[in-house]
Structures are given as structure tokens and as C-alpha cells.
């Protein structure tokens, strides 16, 4: 995924509706759209709530993905193999005897 680069000084800028719509087309959630634009999530949220689509719904509300559909999540697969707690507890009980 290619990220959007902003020009100009950091600090004060305006995010246009077309930029937010472009980020929404290239991402699956509001958080990933903010990352795509190179903005902090709260800044993205502020501007996305300012603009509305043709149905009268804010762009932020229209792009919510609360179920996390299509997003990759970190898994805990292999956690037990990395940290064999049973062996640790057995060793600890042997040393205390």
C-alpha cells in the first residue's frame, strides 16, 4: 500500500474532503485511513467528522469497521511453545524441595 505524502510545514494544515475519500478507498478502517494519510488518528477523526457524503452521513461514520472485517490481527499462535510455563513450574517446584 502506497502512503500519501503531505507537502508543506507540519503543524497547521487543512485536510480536504477529496483526500479523506481517497484514503477511504485505499483502506479498510478509519485508523488505517489516518495512517494512509500520515495523520494522527484524532486529527483524521476531526476532519472526517466535518465532511458528509451524499446520504448526509459523516465520512467518519460511513467508514467505521467496528467488526474488524478484513483486517489482519496479531495472533497468539505459538505463544505456548515460546514460553513453556509447565517446565518452569516443574523446575521451580523441584528447586524449592
Per the domain annotation, does 89 fall within a domain?
no
Per the domain annotation, does 39 fall within a domain?
yes
- Phi (first) and psi of residue 35, to 5 degrees: -65, -40
How far is the C-alpha of 19 from the C-alpha of 46, rounded, in Å? 14
Per the domain annotation, does 3 fall within a domain?
no
What's residue 90's pLDDT?
75
pLDDT at residue 39 tops 70: yes
How far is the C-alpha of 97 from the C-alpha of 92, rounded, in Å? 9
pTM over 0.85: no
**Contact yes or no for 44/30 (Cβ under 8 A):** yes
**Contact yes or no for 26/18 (Cβ under 8 A):** no
Per the domain annotation, does 84 fall within a domain?
no
By residue range, what is the domain housing residue 42?
A: 13-66
Structural domains counted in the chain: 1
Residue 58 per-residue DSSP state: B
pLDDT at residue 46 tops 80: yes
Amino acid at each position: 500500500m502506497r502512503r500519501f505524502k503531505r507537502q508543506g510545514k507540519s503543524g497547521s494544515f487543512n485536510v480536504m474532503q477529496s483526500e479523506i475519500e481517497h484514503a477511504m478507498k485505499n483502506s479498510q478502517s478509519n485508523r488505517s485511513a489516518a495512517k494512509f494519510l500520515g495523520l494522527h488518528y484524532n486529527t483524521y477523526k476531526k476532519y472526517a467528522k466535518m465532511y458528509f457524503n451524499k446520504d448526509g452521513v459523516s465520512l467518519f461514520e460511513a467508514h467505521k469497521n467496528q467488526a474488524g472485517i478484513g483486517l489482519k490481527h496479531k495472533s497468539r499462535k505459538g505463544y505456548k511453545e515460546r514460553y513453556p510455563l509447565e517446565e518452569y513450574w516443574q523446575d521451580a517446584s523441584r528447586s524449592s524441595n
